[in-house]
Amino acid sequence: MASNQWAAPHTTAPVVGTVAVPGSKSINNRALILAALSQSPSVLRNVLMARDSQLMIDGLRQLGVGIDLIDPTAVAVTPHPLKGPVSIDCGLSGTMMRFVPPLATLALGDVTFDGDLAARKRPMETMITALRKLGASVSDGGRRSLPFTIHSTGHMPGGSIKIDASASSQFVSGLLLSGATFDNGLTIRHVGAQLPSLPHIDMTVAMLTAAGAHVSANVSDNTDASWSIASGALDQGDLV
């Protein structure tokens, strides 16, 4: 057996027992963003404390959000006004790179994003271009990738945009998660090749709706889809 292969256990009899299934990283990081943008404090339980989750917690704390560990898999989140200047480490986390920049436009002060060397090769042009079209000032040195700085003014105009999210559905989810806090809400239309992972966008829409957002989706297929979210307050509440 090659050294990089795992010797899977086997049995000749039925296996009976109870398995504790860890939390979902995808749900974790969406819930942390929504908790940071909510009107009141909340507690998130069954949090998977993987690297991506810890990077999200650290990044939100740097922006001013109160996040306290209350047991090994639960955090209490207290929203506060977002502020810079800060430098945020995205590691190699796609949700960090694509969920936090829209939220960071609501801070007061510069917010710089960077990550692992490999992260600098991941596509970010769609997000950078979208933020600029929605009213943010972004400096990226022409790289269209990490590192980049958002010169945040404390609010985001928002509005309607067309994007090509065929490289990652996280571009749509990231924009939608903060869209309710934009002055004019947000409408996104995907124009491009097949959009990957529509179920992850459905997850985002469901979590936003549960937090009180007014979201509408018009999805004909993976190449023709749009989403709108009205400007308004969010209040996610506790999650288990």
Domain positions in the chain: 25-229
Q: Which stretch of 107-111, 114-118, 166-170, 195-199 has the lowest confidence by average pLDDT?
A: 195-199
Counting residues of the chain whose pLDDT is more than 70, the rounded percentage is 99
Q: Which residues contact 71 (CB under 8 A, 6 or more apart)?
A: none
Q: How confident is the model at residue 2 (pLDDT cuts 50, 70, 90)?
A: low
Question: First-to-last CA distance in the chain?
Answer: 41
- Report cis status (omega within 30 of 0) of the bond before 147: yes
- Tally of helices (H runs) and strands (E runs) in the chain: 6, 11
The model's pLDDT over 143-156, given as tens digits with 9 standing for 90+, comes to 999 999 999 999 99
Residues 103 and 179: their CA atoms lie apart, in Å, by 9
Nearest partner of 188 among 214, 161, 168, judged by Cα: 161
Residues 145 and 121: their CA atoms lie apart, in Å, by 7
pLDDT of residue 141 exceeding 80, the answer is yes
pLDDT for position 93: 96
Nearest partner of 41 among 235, 178, 210, judged by Cα: 235
Write down the mean pLDDT value for the chain: 95
Mean pLDDT value of segment 83-105: 98
CATH of domain 25-229: 3.65.10.10
Q: Which residues contact 193 (CB under 8 A, 6 or more apart)?
A: 164, 166, 223
Structure-block tokens of residue 35 = 């908790």
Say which residue, 22 or 114, is predicted with more confidence: 114
